[in-house]
Amino acid sequence: MSNNQKETKNYPNKGKSLPVEKSIKDTVFNIFKKALEENIFDALLIPAKVPDTDAYSWILLQDESLFDIADPLPPVMTVQGGRALSSFSKNGELGLKIAALLRPCEARAVIELFKLHQVDLDNMTLITIDCPGAMPLADYMNDPKKIADSFKKISEKWEISESLRPACQNCHRFSLMDGTGPDLHIGLLGENNKVTLIANSPEGNDLLEKLGFESKDSLDKWKTEKEKLVKEKTKKRESFLKEWQEKTKNPDGFFNELNKCINCHNCMNACPICYCQQCYFDSQMINFKPEIYLKKSREKGALRFPLNTMLFHIGRMSHMVLSCVACGACEDACPVSIPVGRLFSMVGDKTQKQFDYVPGLNREDPLPLQIFKEDEFCEVETPNECEEKATEEVK
């Protein structure tokens, strides 16, 4: 694997542009149909609309007739793709060759889960697609038709609309990044009425070759458009970070946002990175004898129940925030509209930078807490020596 990944760094150079005849969906599906027909892969993990309902779910598609209900970019993200993929590939040895079509944030979650041994990537082809974002789940459930329509308009124009999920509005990693994440990327940006297939690994290249595509079309146009949008969205993200850092600059500001929490743990269940079998905060470990609560209540004057509501968020944050891919699934799942995704994404931004770590960027980057670097955080451990070293380096 490691050898391949070194090569992967050179990707992508060129791509394969395909004209859009009927619709983008149709063009993309034709590729997958061909791949299934020719047994290039045996099954495809893809979002689909459950017939006769407004619900979206993941299906492991093997019967081609089901492409009728599949949707590469549904208006909402119901279940995070990383979670869906982990649920069937955790125990390894798939036996079948599987492709998964994911949003970039979902693929990043898959890479993080891969490092935690929660998915198996042998025999797995990760395919990502330029993502215009998704609509808030609650809005969609209120009026599915209206929201689906406005999503269609937003996605056609790549608009950074206020009606998108906050996570999507502030997302600057909606496309292919310079790393060893997905094997294949589907570029929608760039020339109108064209879909660009971009191999991002030897496996991706292999897939294109097997499909009979030669990667020789220029990526310049896609790159220019992508970078333009990345710039725009990075700016948006920075203003979001600034605004929220200001809001939460003291602990009260931070906790006030969480005060509405009803302790349902939906955020945890929706989070792709929260992979524990049983959360400590759902276990008996946090329960004490009544007399202890009475005593605490006497000491403090009163005790708020359920206990550990705040501690749950802080605990969850400290456990997973270095791997937080800012997908916003937690915020979508919150029944009381706590901006939990924004809080986590904001904290994640800062902590991840401390370790020069971008979750989901490279398969081979180790998780920051699993490795020890002597010079890391030297400003905390040995500030004097650290300063000396820095001045020496300047000299």
Residues that bind other proteins in the complex, under the rule CB under 8 A: 90-92, 116-118, 275-278, 280, 283, 285, 319-320, 367, 369-371
Quick one: 255 or 280, whose CB is closer to other proteins?
A: 280
The alpha carbons of the chain give a radius of gyration, in whole angstroms, of: 23
Q: State in angstroms the smallest separation of the CB of 275 from other proteins.
A: 6
Q: Smallest distance, Å, CB 298 to other proteins?
A: 14
User: What whole-number distance in Å separates Cα of residue 246 and Cα of residue 258?
Assistant: 16
Cβ 38 vs Cβ 208: under 8 Å: no
Comparing CB distances to other proteins, the nearer of 136 and 360 is 360
Our CB check for other proteins shows the closer of 301 and 372 to be 372
Q: 13 or 287, CB closer to other proteins? A: 287
Q: Which helix (H) or strand (E) holds 130?
A: none
- Among 184, 180, 159, which Cα is nearest to 72's? 184
Cβ nearer to other proteins, comparing 122 with 156: 122
Taking the CA atoms of 268, 269, 274 and 280 in sequence, report the sign of the dihedral they define. Answer: positive
- Least Å distance, CB 296 to other proteins, is 11
Buried b or exposed e, range 108-117, using 16+ CB within 10 angstroms: bbbbbbbbee
Hey, what amino acid is at 388? E
Query: Helix (H, G, I), strand (E, B), or coil: what is residue 185?
Result: strand
Closest approach of Cβ 312 to other proteins, in Å? 14
Nearer to other proteins, 234 or 269 (CB): 269
| Nearer to other proteins (CB atom), residue 285 or residue 394 | 285
Assigned token pair, 129: 């697609």
The nearest distance, CB 31 to other proteins, in angstroms, is: 34
Helix (H) or strand (E) run with residue 367 in it = none
3-class DSSP state for residue 128?
Answer: strand
Q: Which is nearer to other proteins, 112 or 332 (CB)?
A: 112
Give residue 76's identity as a one-letter amino acid code.
V
Least separation, in Å, of the C-beta of 319 and other proteins? 5
The burial class, CB within 10 Å (0-12 / 13-18 / 19+), for 319 is middle
Contact call for residues 297 and 349 (beta carbons, < 8 A) = no
Q: Return the number of the residue (145 or 300) whose C-beta is nearest other proteins.
A: 300
**Contacts with 61 (C-beta within 8 Å, 6 or more apart), sequence order:** 36, 43, 44, 45, 46, 48, 67, 70
- For residue 254 the two structure tokens come to 């931070």
CB of 285 to other proteins, least distance (A): 7
CB 332: neighbour CB atoms within 10 A? 26
Q: Which residues of 177-208 are buried (b: 16+ CB within 10 A; e: fewer)?
A: bebbbbbbbbbbbbeeebbbbbbbbebbbebb
What residue type is 136 in one-letter code?
A: P
User: 3-state class of 126 per DSSP?
Assistant: strand
For residues 222 and 275, which CB has a smaller minimum distance to other proteins in the complex? 275
Q: How far is the CB of 279 from other proteins (least distance, A)?
A: 8
Residue at 205: amino acid letter: N
